[in-house]
Amino acid sequence: MVAKEQITTLSDGLQVLAPAKINLTLLIAGKRPDGFHEIETIMAKVDLFDEVLIQPGEKAGIELLCKGPYRAPQGKENLAYKACDILLRNSRSQANLKITLTKNIPAGSGLGSASSDAAATLIGVNKYLGFDLPKPKLAEVAPALGSDVAFFLGGPLAFCTGKGEKIKKLTENFNFSTLLLLPNVSASTKEVYANYNHNPAIYRNLSAQINSHLEKNRIDLASKMCANMLETSCFSLYKELFDLKAKVESLGIVPLCLSGSGSAMFSIIEDTEDKKVSQNRHKLLEKTGCESIIVSNNGW
């Protein structure tokens, strides 16, 4: 893995990388009084990035442009726009900014791209305008933007609870590579959660195993469980994902895990499998039509 810096200073601005994440595990503890679900998840950043370019604005206020291979909202509904807006308002700044968002991570994939874009924008605008707010101060506005934003302000590996906003950083090194499948399916997080049927017994069993692994700093063993309690809900809504997993696993790529609420799936690669997995990528595309890439854990 070639290490990249998150922030690059340019002659006319600042570029900030916004990494994707995968959920190495994802458990649902139950439904909260506020209607959201209580989760327990191990999240890890990977070296697949959106790019946030911050430059002086040519128009009053915030100008947001989106480009790249994947679609994103262009206006005020974009989380990068919202992150910039809330930071400017909280800092009582009248700055005019142009933000160019390059989308290399598909939306509706369970890879957290919008939340990562928001976090990268907070980090970038904070530095570009010299606010010098510490990360804990930036984290105060994260819940208003999304449950995963707080994770992307820290990381690169954490055990997240609550709605995902309560972060316990994991300091144990867990270096990995993974084959990441990017199906041409945009899964609705809202619909997957709404369709979810809770099983307390399954939760208690998986939670006990995962916490035991964490106590021993064996994140590798937790990841091998391939535990995602949203998988059944996601696959019942998107049968093509269920069929895709079956086809891929028939090629010997196992276990294949769902990230977040879908649609992306991943398989951790053992060191001895690098050549085999690279060969299987071509077979996978031929047999299923699904694009895949090999990514590694991110360092920050």
Neighbours of 49 (CB within 10 A): 22
Task: State which H helix or E strand residue 14 sits in.
Answer: strand 13-31
Residue 75 has what pLDDT? 87
Of 160, 176, 162, 166, the C-alpha closest to 214 is 160
The CATH class that applies to domain 177-296 reads alpha beta
Answer yes or no: are the C-beta atoms of 156 and 299 closer than 8 Å: yes
Residue 152 has what pLDDT? 98
Q: Give the Cα separation of 89 and 199 in Å (integer).
A: 43
pTM of the predicted protein model: 0.96
Of 82, 114, 80, the C-alpha closest to 99 is 80
Residue 279 has what pLDDT? 76
Residue 277 has what pLDDT? 72
User: Collapsing DSSP states into helix, strand and coil, what is residue 28?
Assistant: strand
Write the CATH number of the domain with boundaries 7-169.
Answer: 3.30.230.10
- Residues with a catalytic annotation lie at 21, 148
| Averaged pLDDT in 10-residue chunks for the chain of 300 residues | 84 97 98 95 98 96 96 93 97 96 97 98 98 95 95 95 96 91 97 98 98 96 98 98 96 93 94 69 91 95
Neighbours of 274 (CB within 10 A): 12
Enumerate the domain spans of the chain.
7-169, 177-296
Residue 1 has what pLDDT? 45
